[in-house]
Structure 1
């Protein structure tokens, strides 16, 4: 990628913001190395990784990168057998802990959404928790070796405390003496070189034995270690040396543990840094309100409401740009400070960002091209030291890029041909544009020359554009208008500012007739554009009003359907109550008949009583189907492979296997059933038009409440036959939403009853079961309650 273009388009400022968004030094290092790629597959992979990070943050929040530092130098020394310090080991424990947290975070995200690229980055991270635990056991959060690191260290430090207390107590008793206090500069015990001393006035040196360790700056005070504590201090010194030796041994042991895994831990550090870098891209996208662009290698570029990322979002004016379709070059004209240069930089910088795997600050649906090079000649780069004029500097840049540009390049030219005689400058600008156009690259150029407007108007594949200027306010609007060349506003501005009309008319007379015609044509085009824009806004307003009215009608229709359903439900509730009353009366009659039959020695067939009860149950009206919304007036076409909800089954979800007429074959768990299309609502469209794969060993069931019985008579069947029939019967009853079913197996030897009840105990649709009560068939019938 052209380094000069990166500097001109301020790509380094985007990298700086990306670096600041990284949470770790490892991530910042990765971010600082980011450069655009000209490889389409690589760009897509980079953008896919950023998209995964954006979705992960939206789902689970920012990942926990705390504690992760760059420990690669320490790991390198440990690998070579070096002894690491306590703080270095604590940092390595922090890296291991951070790695474990990131793995846990990614696993939680991966349970809900697919993040293949991030998962692949986490896959090689090792589990070194035993090393972390051992370091944590020996070293505290302040980077100090703890007493618990070894029994020997704990014993040594205990002795150190004992001897230190004894030395202090001895010196405290000495300085409390009134005869001694007059010889001391200060009544206190201090330390010099890890040895306890007291500050003695110089003239009383002979009154104390022991060792002089230090003197004050003036020489008036001597820091003396009295003879009484010399042995104690010697013992303390010996214990301190033993303590250092033991700490050295502990650190060497821990460093050895780290050294065994040094290469793997260094690889983990790099992986974690790269993961942090990817999430930094997600954080940058969030701060810029950026979106994921589509990318291609066909030279097509379409930006929707693109904003320059380095301009205050409250002030930036979005632009729409298309290149690579009907035209491959845009010639932008307009007044100075109108935003032409910003438009060029916006296109160039957003292209660099997309090629770097960064989201771009533009609306959804924007398309970016992966160019093999981006070349920019923007700004006045004249140099006094090199004696280069404005024109010369532009020519130098152009000559440098002309030898590198290909058909897959993007060329950005600001003020093409400026800095020399207008006639020669415009001719040279046209020649340069013609050369680049023949190469086939994508071009975005700005100019003040009216000759280039005519050139773009007559040349296929090149289109005019301009920066809008409001003559009424004498201010640019910074809006890019593609298809409309810029017109001169000098006369209008001069007149608004108060220049005498006679001077303005004289100036108009100096302008050629052809230029006046061009200016008049541009003014006409601008009026037409404003009129079209006004009509578009009116049409948009009317569309929104119609949509609002349609929504109101839909809401009213839904309320009406709800009221209708409620009235029908109330009526059917009354009917059900009447039937329930009749059922109770019938049960009483049946009970009376049975009692009479028993008293008279007669017998009644239990299954006939059950059939009578079923006829009563069938007389209960079905519940009224609740109305449902129609998808806001849009046809929700159901296709094979779609995930759907079945309303008659309480909104249970399934997948459409195939369509036949007005019905769909729907896969519900291990079952398939045919359902009317009117009873379905699409939940999620399938990724392709291919029908859903049909699992093996499934049972196809046609839902039909009228065909489903509430009792199953198994008398005379073998146990194996009975179990098959019972399983089929329970599936049908479950799909028909039956709450209670009756299985007639008779009394006999009880073997069939035992087998049936053992089967019911394990069946997934059965909530509970019991023998029939008096009047239900007794021990000859099993009553099952379904889930």
Structure 2
């Protein structure tokens, strides 16, 4: 079921229907375009979309698939089915070329391997054109659609005689024309022409009586007359009679051919419906190519899991302008069936809503949809929408009454197989009452099990979505620094309307805005402020996550390289050990041989003193050279940064946390726990984790600053929860801003933030300069620079800590 009746116009599907109508070549395809309708039959939707996907594949493969002569010949076939009727030569010409196209299409699918295009190939197998039909037509007609001379023996005889007579009369007329030119009756540029189907000569009117013959016509000015000479009058009559005979013979041939194809009219009509379907599928496939559309995973249950969904009409218009549509990521499932989308006006909420409706409607009409390949599209039997102003003078309906009328239908008919879309839920009446009614209606729709998407500004609906099973918040992202929409849908958190910020941007007086905030109340203002800060923090942390991801990938790569290097070193070590063993073995062998030789020489020389001394010297020299150890230089360990002292630890002593560089002073001992102060931070550490250091080491670490005992403890958890790394200083005076900055920086340093963000606005740059000069006095500040241009530029200062 669809609601309302104008759903196609509201979603924009009528524009896609018009595009398809123009893309079809023949009225047969256009007939199918007019028959497009939303289907609530899962099998039918699957078949229609699969046919379109197969045709898109055919066009993308680039094979020689016919793209011309998709001619609708069904009116001719209806005429031929009537006994006694005769088809014209033009009709048979159209039938000839269109049947040729059908045969080429059938031949294309029959040549494909089994399973290539299963649906279209299966359909093509049901189409048959009797060869007798095409052979009979091809025997009679040539490629130009003219009846051939050899279509019959009699027609061949008539045309040969006709050509002979025409050639004879032309020779006689050429002779008469030359004589008339010589006599000066006509100009040299004049040539023969035809009037009333007869060959004539143009003669200047003043010489018309000099040439005997029949005047057939004269020019518009009367200066020229067209005369058929008397001597060719009879020949022209014979030619005219031959033409009549030719016509009668052609009609006889056409009558006979019509009777011959009459028995095959039913199967020909089926073939032309097949041709019309192919024309229609070609149009749908071309639309899919235009949209870069695909056939996503289709499941027989209610679900939306779309990645990079693009509004089809917006995509085509942006494509012509050379721009790109910002894609949406949308997910609705059993746990989160209804999406509550909030955010500022002109932020893209309505476009997102129509994107969901149009894509689902397109798919269940058999069209491919502009999604990413890994998307999943579910099946809905009902689509209800409430978009736009439906106030009616005839029915005496206001805008709000119209919305309530739609809601009445939604509540009565919505079920688990329904997809509903509501734009600007609850507007058109007093906000308090409208919000209450909208909340009650939303609760009822949630109970129905329906799936849907709702655009709203009401805070109570955002809170309801956060606390109700089946509902989930979503927001159209907005650049809070530039107050510009980003057109991205973020699911999981509500969005701010940025009403006050937009009012400031357009120049509404500050006093008016401040008074409005006071009237609204601190709770709502704080809620909007929190949403804005969350959006800014989300952007910053998203960038940090990206940076960490890059570092992690780099670390993984370096780790892999380290493992590879380690394996290589271990392999080299084994090789070196093996080489050393082999060398040692060889050395021992040489040494043994030398020793044996030495002993033999001593024995042979009978231990003569000088000879023995020389031999021993030779042996000692070999040992000194071969067995000389290599000098290995060991790196001395680096000196420890801090000198560790001995003795027990007591109050007032300086200590270091083992394995860290943090040094503090002992405030008190509590059994095995020690209370120490590190800078402005007081903490309790296990005694076993502390090492006693000298005062000199403490001064080196702290820069000669004395430790100041804290007069009272600090609740770090509370400060951490209440601290935001983003400080907005816009609108503050210099002295007030610097005081706020000091307090902010103290908390940031104590909590260990390595980066904070100060929003001071651009203006004349006075506040920015004042703040940055003040921050240069902080030893903990490493550097300051402008925020990225997309997030505030010089209107925001990023402070990095040491």
State how far apart, in whole Å, the 2-side matches of 1:475 and 1:547 are: 38
Matched, 1:30 2:39: no
Q: CA deviation at 1:232?
A: 0.4
From 330, 351, 358, give the equivalent of 1:349: 358
Q: CA deviation at 1:50?
A: 2.8
Distance 1:486 1:145, change over 3 A: same
State how far apart, in whole Å, the 2-side matches of 1:553 and 1:21 are: 60
Matched, 1:432 2:441: yes
Q: CA deviation at 1:489?
A: 1.6
From 74, 96, 100, give the equivalent of 2:99: 96
Aligned partners of 2:180 and 2:186 also within 8 Å = no
Distance 1:425 1:201, change over 3 A: same
Matched, 1:146 2:155: no
Distance 1:219 1:470, change over 3 A: closer
State how far apart, in whole Å, the 2-side matches of 1:445 and 1:415 are: 7
State how far apart, in whole Å, the 1-side matches of 2:31 and 2:423 are: 34
Partner residue, 1:510: 519
State how far apart, in whole Å, the 1-side matches of 2:402 and 2:41 are: 31
From 304, 327, 330, give the equivalent of 1:321: 330
Q: The residue matched to 1:510 in structure 2 has which SS?
A: helix
Partner residue, 2:158: 156
Q: CA deviation at 1:97?
A: 1.8
State how far apart, in whole Å, the 1-side matches of 2:363 and 2:568 are: 49
From 9, 12, 15, give the equivalent of 1:10: 12
Gaps of 5+ in 1: 561-787
Partner residue, 1:126: 128
From 221, 234, 238, give the equivalent of 2:237: 234
In the TM superposition, 1:536-615 aligns within 5 A as: 536-538=545-547, 540-542=549-551, 544-545=553-554
Q: CA deviation at 1:74?
A: 1.1
Q: The residue matched to 1:305 in structure 2 has which SS?
A: strand
State how far apart, in whole Å, the 2-side matches of 1:11 and 1:379 are: 16
Larger deviation, residues 461-470 vs 204-213 = 204-213
Distance 1:151 1:408, change over 3 A: same
Partner residue, 1:443: 452
State how far apart, in whole Å, the 1-side matches of 2:563 and 2:78 are: 70
Partner residue, 1:568: none
Aligned-residue CA RMSD in angstroms? 3.4
From 170, 190, 193, give the equivalent of 2:196: 193
Matched, 1:454 2:444: no
Matched, 1:41 2:32: no
Aligned partners of 1:121 and 1:275 also within 8 Å = no
Aligned partners of 2:70 and 2:279 also within 8 Å = no
State how far apart, in whole Å, the 2-side matches of 1:14 and 1:282 are: 13
Aligned partners of 2:129 and 2:267 also within 8 Å = no
Q: CA deviation at 1:188?
A: 4.4
Distance 1:214 1:291, change over 3 A: closer
From 136, 139, 146, give the equivalent of 2:138: 136
From 413, 418, 424, give the equivalent of 1:415: 424
Partner residue, 1:168: 170
State how far apart, in whole Å, the 1-side matches of 2:181 and 2:329 are: 94
Per-residue CA distance 1:560-596 (angstroms, 9 max, x = gap) = 9xxxxxxxxxxxxxxxxxxxxxxxxxxxxxxxxxxxx
State how far apart, in whole Å, the 1-side matches of 2:264 and 2:544 are: 70
Q: The residue matched to 2:436 in structure 1 has which SS?
A: helix
Q: CA deviation at 1:540?
A: 4.5
Distance 1:76 1:344, change over 3 A: same
Distance 1:217 1:423, change over 3 A: same
Matched, 1:275 2:278: yes
Per-residue CA distance 1:673-725 (angstroms, 9 max, x = gap) = xxxxxxxxxxxxxxxxxxxxxxxxxxxxxxxxxxxxxxxxxxxxxxxxxxxxx
State how far apart, in whole Å, the 1-side matches of 2:452 and 2:252 are: 68
Larger deviation, residues 358-367 vs 45-54 = 45-54
Q: CA deviation at 1:557?
A: 13
Per-residue CA distance 1:329-359 (angstroms, 9 max, x = gap) = 1111111110000010010011012212222
Matched, 1:478 2:506: no
Aligned partners of 2:181 and 2:187 also within 8 Å = no
From 523, 531, 537, give the equivalent of 1:522: 531
Q: The residue matched to 1:359 in structure 2 has which SS?
A: coil
Aligned partners of 2:339 and 2:453 also within 8 Å = yes
Matched, 1:489 2:492: no
Per-residue CA distance 1:220-269 (angstroms, 9 max, x = gap) = 65433332111101101110001111111222233233323221111011
Q: CA deviation at 1:136?
A: 3.2
Aligned partners of 1:308 and 1:342 also within 8 Å = yes
Distance 1:193 1:556, change over 3 A: farther
State how far apart, in whole Å, the 2-side matches of 1:298 and 1:462 are: 18
State how far apart, in whole Å, the 1-side matches of 2:59 and 2:87 are: 36
Q: How many residues are paired up?
A: 559
Distance 1:281 1:558, change over 3 A: farther
In the TM superposition, 1:175-254 aligns within 5 A as: 175-177=177-179, 181=183, 188-200=191-203, 209-217=212-220, 221-254=224-257
Aligned partners of 2:480 and 2:532 also within 8 Å = no
Partner residue, 1:302: 305
Distance 1:374 1:179, change over 3 A: closer
State how far apart, in whole Å, the 1-side matches of 2:549 and 2:98 are: 56
Distance 1:238 1:558, change over 3 A: farther
State how far apart, in whole Å, the 2-side matches of 1:397 and 1:44 are: 30
Aligned partners of 1:299 and 1:369 also within 8 Å = yes
TM-score, normalised to structure 1, is 0.65
State how far apart, in whole Å, the 2-side matches of 1:169 and 1:269 are: 50
Matched, 1:368 2:374: no
Aligned partners of 1:175 and 1:181 also within 8 Å = no
Q: The residue matched to 1:243 in structure 2 has which SS?
A: helix
State how far apart, in whole Å, the 2-side matches of 1:275 and 1:69 are: 12
Distance 1:218 1:102, change over 3 A: closer
Distance 1:216 1:14, change over 3 A: closer
Partner residue, 1:108: 111
State how far apart, in whole Å, the 1-side matches of 2:191 and 2:16 are: 60
Partner residue, 1:714: none
State how far apart, in whole Å, the 2-side matches of 1:66 and 1:551 are: 59
Matched, 1:258 2:261: yes
In the TM superposition, 1:328-407 aligns within 5 A as: 328-382=337-391, 388-399=397-408, 401-407=410-416
State how far apart, in whole Å, the 1-side matches of 2:264 and 2:10 are: 45
State how far apart, in whole Å, the 2-side matches of 1:558 and 1:80 are: 90
Aligned partners of 1:71 and 1:92 also within 8 Å = yes
Aligned partners of 2:93 and 2:146 also within 8 Å = no
From 102, 117, 127, give the equivalent of 2:119: 117
Q: CA deviation at 1:11?
A: 0.9
Aligned partners of 1:471 and 1:493 also within 8 Å = no
Per-residue CA distance 1:727-748 (angstroms, 9 max, x = gap) = xxxxxxxxxxxxxxxxxxxxxx
TM-score, normalised to structure 2, is 0.64
Partner residue, 1:725: none
State how far apart, in whole Å, the 1-side matches of 2:19 and 2:566 are: 53
State how far apart, in whole Å, the 1-side matches of 2:504 and 2:116 are: 64
Distance 1:62 1:290, change over 3 A: farther
Per-residue CA distance 1:50-85 (angstroms, 9 max, x = gap) = 333344444453622433311111112122243222
Q: The residue matched to 2:454 in structure 1 has which SS?
A: strand
